[in-house]
Structure 1
Amino acid sequence: MDKEKSASQEIWSLGKELGLTSHLEDSEVERQIAHQVAVRNSEGRAGGIACVWNRDVFEASSKWDLPGAVVVNGIVKQGNIGCCIINVYAPARAGEKHRLWDAIGTIVVQNADMCVCVMGDFNVVRRREERAGNGETFNEAEARGFDDFICSNELEEIRIQGRKYTWFKPNGRCKSKLDRFLVNEEWLRVWEGSVACGLQRTLSDHLPIQLRTKCEDWGPTPFRFLNVWVSHPDFHDVVDDVWSKADVVGWKSFVVKEKLKMLKVKLKEWNKLTFGSIDHRIQSLKIEIQEMD
């Protein structure tokens, strides 16, 4: 708790410099902040990481840190939505990056049933055109490793509206896209309209970016049927197999409802094995089209 206490003091001190005020004593404000913050201290030249949340909106159930990231699991109270937030400040060395990608990948898989967002400074670009300027070299192996990490974990990048780069050298001659939001399929199901917005850059050499969602509780997410399934020769066999083998007893309406639930699970598995991640392929094609413009 000592590092949370120290971080809360720094956060409140910065808040007051920015003009924030409170009717509470400083010690009480810092105590409250300490219960809604997760931090990883700085190491050498690498800066620290802090996650801060509003307890009226988000209730954390667990939090921990690993080299290069802070992880917070919890519930968004509106809609009772399970979330896993991974705040990244990636190391500079390639080997350390790879270890971080592996660790994050394990966390993403373990929390696949939750809304997962991996965000922050990844200290690497995905493509050559994400880096520009004198003296800025493109490391193809690092970029490929980072892109493989994103694709293999079926993460989708939320594009930053109106901004191409997020990091700038003080002289403005070099710039790169190092910061981004990566989310899983469940996140996009719940917050389909998520957008990333670049804010005004002031003293920092990084552009602040904000992930915006529209959180409304519309009940359970509806099952999405893809028309392309019907054209596949195995589709009717998959449906017949589930429907004939489902052992459900009860009222007819109840039996139909339970069989549909089983069919939904089976079709999702069959879709992934047969067609791969269609959403990921669509998003990748959209990115390629945008880059052609």
Structure 2
Amino acid sequence: MSYRHIFIIKGKVILTGQDFIIANVYAPCDTIAKQELWVCLSQFILDTRDANVCVCGDFNSVRTKEEIRGRSVVFRQLDADNFNNFIDNSFPIDLPICGTLFTWYRGDGISMSRIDRFFVSAKWCDSWPNCI
């Protein structure tokens, strides 16, 4: 399995001894390359489902039309469908963001999207229930 576009950190919380895994993602812009990444990440999440896992980063995808705005913005339904299928099939919890609707802004002040996310396992939420 290739972990291209993913940086994985495994560690232990010193005070509690709890193990954790953080996978930082920088997804490609290409639809086919993203689909390959979703397959790889789905397998990674399934393989580590009993662990404290956080998969976070720039996914270069939005889930809905409401998560993207701008002058010349093109909403790609296929990319959104593939991304949503990845999320639905992998069962990660999509943490809400606080303070803003968007995570990326172009310098024009008009173009913006929510392409950055934090997905966590159920065990992560059990271990740290107040995470946002």
Q: How does 1:141-180 map to 2 (within 5 A)?
A: 141-180=78-117
Q: CA deviation at 1:66?
A: 2.2
The one-letter code matched in structure 1 to 2:9 is V
2:70 corresponding residue in structure 1: 133
Aligned counterparts of 1:158 and 1:78: Cα–Cα separation in 2: 24
The one-letter code matched in structure 1 to 2:38 is W
Aligned counterparts of 1:194 and 1:95: Cα–Cα separation in 2: 32
Q: Which one has more relative contact order, counting CA pairs under 8 Å at least 6 apart?
A: 2
Aligned counterparts of 1:105 and 1:89: Cα–Cα separation in 2: 15
Aligned counterparts of 2:89 and 2:19: Cα–Cα separation in 1: 22
1:188 corresponding residue in structure 2: 125
Q: CA deviation at 1:74?
A: 2.4
Structure 2 stretches lacking a partner, 5+ long: none
1:91 corresponding residue in structure 2: 28
Match of 2:47 among 90, 93, 110: 110
Displaced runs of 4 or more, over 2 A: none
Q: How does 1:196-215 map to 2 (within 5 A)?
A: none
The one-letter code matched in structure 1 to 2:130 is G
Is the partner of 2:54 in helix, strand or coil? strand
- How much identity, in percent, do the aligned residues show? 31
Q: CA deviation at 1:126?
A: 0.7
Match of 2:38 among 101, 125, 138: 101
1:266 corresponding residue in structure 2: none
Alignment of 1:72 onto 2:43: no
Q: CA deviation at 1:112?
A: 1.2
Q: Deviations over 1:136-190 (max 9, x none)?
A: 1111111111111111111111111121011111111211001110111111111
Count of equivalent residues: 131
The one-letter code matched in structure 2 to 1:126 is R
**By percentage of residues, which structure has more helix?**
1
The one-letter code matched in structure 2 to 1:148 is N
1:22 corresponding residue in structure 2: none
TM-score (norm: length of structure 1): 0.44
Aligned counterparts of 2:115 and 2:89: Cα–Cα separation in 1: 20
Flag the structure with larger Rg: 1
Aligned counterparts of 1:75 and 1:90: Cα–Cα separation in 2: 26
CA RMSD of aligned residues (A): 1.2
Q: CA deviation at 1:78?
A: 2.1
TM-score (norm: length of structure 2): 0.94
Is the partner of 1:66 in helix, strand or coil? coil
Aligned counterparts of 2:41 and 2:83: Cα–Cα separation in 1: 12
Q: CA deviation at 1:69?
A: 1.0
Aligned counterparts of 2:41 and 2:91: Cα–Cα separation in 1: 12
Q: Deviations over 1:94-116 (max 9, x none)?
A: 11111111111111111111111
